[in-house]
């Protein structure tokens, strides 16, 4: 069985064919990993992978274990979270973000499968943060190389506050954590530099005043919004995506409420193929 990749935009993304989740040999998973390093996000159509098979795939790629502090887990596996939005919920994923960068070591990859999709809408976009970084003016790249930024749990404050007031926010803050990361990170496998701030989770730049940090972050977030850095996926039930969290961000569009949308997600914390 040979995996083939059909590249979707110059920035990132590929449709993969020839993948059978029942056949996770070392060679197949090595190939899959190589394709992920090259394209950053991979899409699989009609992949009827139940939660246990998503977990097997995650384990073949690395170590699981980044339990989410806010999402519900699947009854068949604690390693699968259910992400469900409907009625007048306010989804938290309609912002550019890379998963859990408020942790010192954010997860390496995510595996996301569509279970229930709305009649139309509910697409997800990914941005290549290599592409965003490469597009920056040279002087700006030099300035950013010196800077570090604080990441925290962003809009997860809202459910925490509604549930338990100030105490709830303090507890959520403690369990989610906070972390400082360089604004220009280097991918541990490809070595490529990428822009490492997100509108969801990056709050402040060390050493700048709050207004200076706010202005610079706003400029960087505007750059991430440019469509030439993106790929967009229209989901159907059993569409599955795998993305490398290092060097990408994603944005789940909320244009489908009050219809229901249900996704299953596995987070892979450590990359087994990272030297």
Ligand X SMILES: O=C(O)CCC(=O)C(=O)O
252 binds ligand X (CB under 6 A): yes
Q: Is 273 tagged catalytic?
A: no
CB of 122 to ligand X, least distance (A): 7
Q: 91 near 85, Cβ under 8 Å? A: yes
Q: Residue for token digits 């220009």? A: 184
Query: What number of H helices and E strands is found in the chain?
Result: 6, 17
Q: Is 97 tagged catalytic?
A: yes
Size of the site for ligand X (CB under 6 A): 10
CB of 265 to ligand X, least distance (A): 5
Positions 211 through 230 that interact with ligand X (CB under 6 A): none
Distance CA 30, CA 32 (A): 5
Q: Locate 220 and state its tokens.
A: 């960087």
CB of 89 to ligand X, least distance (A): 12
Q: Is 230 tagged catalytic?
A: no
Distance CA 270, CA 65 (A): 9
Dihedral in degrees, nearest 10, Cα atoms 191, 194, 200, 205: 100
- Which residue among 33, 230, 250, 264 contacts ligand X (CB under 6 A)? 250
Nearer CB in complex with ligand X: 68/273: 68
- Which residue among 61, 265, 269, 271 contacts ligand X (CB under 6 A)? 265
Catalytic residue among 97, 203, 230, 264: 97
Residues found in the chain: 275
CB of 118 to ligand X, least distance (A): 12
CB of 232 to ligand X, least distance (A): 11
Positions 58 through 97 that interact with ligand X (CB under 6 A): 83, 93
- Which residue among 263, 266, 268, 269 contacts ligand X (CB under 6 A)? 263
Nearer CB in complex with ligand X: 84/270: 84
- The one-character DSSP state at 134 is H
Q: 110 near 245, Cβ under 8 Å? A: yes
Nearer CB in complex with ligand X: 131/200: 200
Distance CA 12, CA 77 (A): 31
Nearer CB in complex with ligand X: 215/234: 234
Distance CA 200, CA 68 (A): 16
Q: Residue for token digits 């939005």? A: 85
Catalytic residue among 250, 261, 264, 271: 250
The residue of the chain with the least Cβ separation from ligand X equals: 93
Nearer CB in complex with ligand X: 11/241: 241
Distance CA 231, CA 10 (A): 9
Helix (H, G, I), strand (E, B) or coil at 5: strand
Positions 91 through 150 that interact with ligand X (CB under 6 A): 93, 99, 110, 112, 124
Nearer CB in complex with ligand X: 16/81: 81
DSSP per position, 59-101: HHHEEE----SSSEEETTEEEEEEEEE-TT---S-SS-B-TTT
Known catalytic residues are 97, 99, 250, 265
Residues that bind ligand X (CB under 6 A): 83, 93, 99, 110, 112, 124, 250, 252, 263, 265
């Amino acid at each position: 069985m040979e995996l083939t990749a059909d590249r979707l935009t110059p920035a990132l993304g590929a449709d993969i064919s020839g993948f059978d989740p029942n056949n996770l040999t070392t060679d197949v998973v090595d190939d899959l990993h190589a394709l992920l390093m090259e394209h950053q996000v991979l899409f699989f159509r009609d992949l009827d992978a139940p939660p246990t098979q998503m977990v097997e795939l995650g384990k073949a790629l690395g170590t699981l274990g980044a339990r989410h502090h806010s999402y519900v887990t699947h009854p068949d596996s604690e390693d699968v979270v259910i992400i469900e939005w409907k009625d007048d919920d306010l989804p938290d994923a309609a912002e550019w973000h890379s998963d859990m960068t408020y942790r010192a070591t954010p997860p390496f990859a995510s595996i996301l499968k569509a279970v229930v999709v709305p009649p139309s809408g509910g697409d997800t976009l990914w941005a290549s943060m290599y592409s965003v970084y490469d597009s920056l003016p040279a002087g700006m790249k030099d300035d950013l190389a010196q800077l570090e930024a604080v990441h925290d749990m962003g809009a997860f404050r809202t459910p925490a506050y509604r549930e338990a007031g100030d105490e709830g926010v303090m507890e959520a803050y403690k369990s989610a954590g906070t972390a400082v990361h360089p604004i220009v990170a280097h991918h541990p496998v490809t070595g490529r530099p990428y822009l490492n701030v997100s509108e969801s989770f990056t709050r402040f730049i060390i050493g700048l005043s709050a207004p200076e940090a706010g202005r610079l972050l706003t400029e960087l977030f505007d750059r991430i919004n440019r469509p030439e850095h993106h790929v967009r996926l229209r989901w159907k039930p059993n569409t599955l995506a795998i993305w490398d969290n290092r060097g990408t961000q994603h944005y789940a569009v909320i244009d489908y409420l009050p219809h229901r949308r249900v996704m299953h997600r596995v987070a892979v914390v450590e990359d087994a193929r990272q030297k």
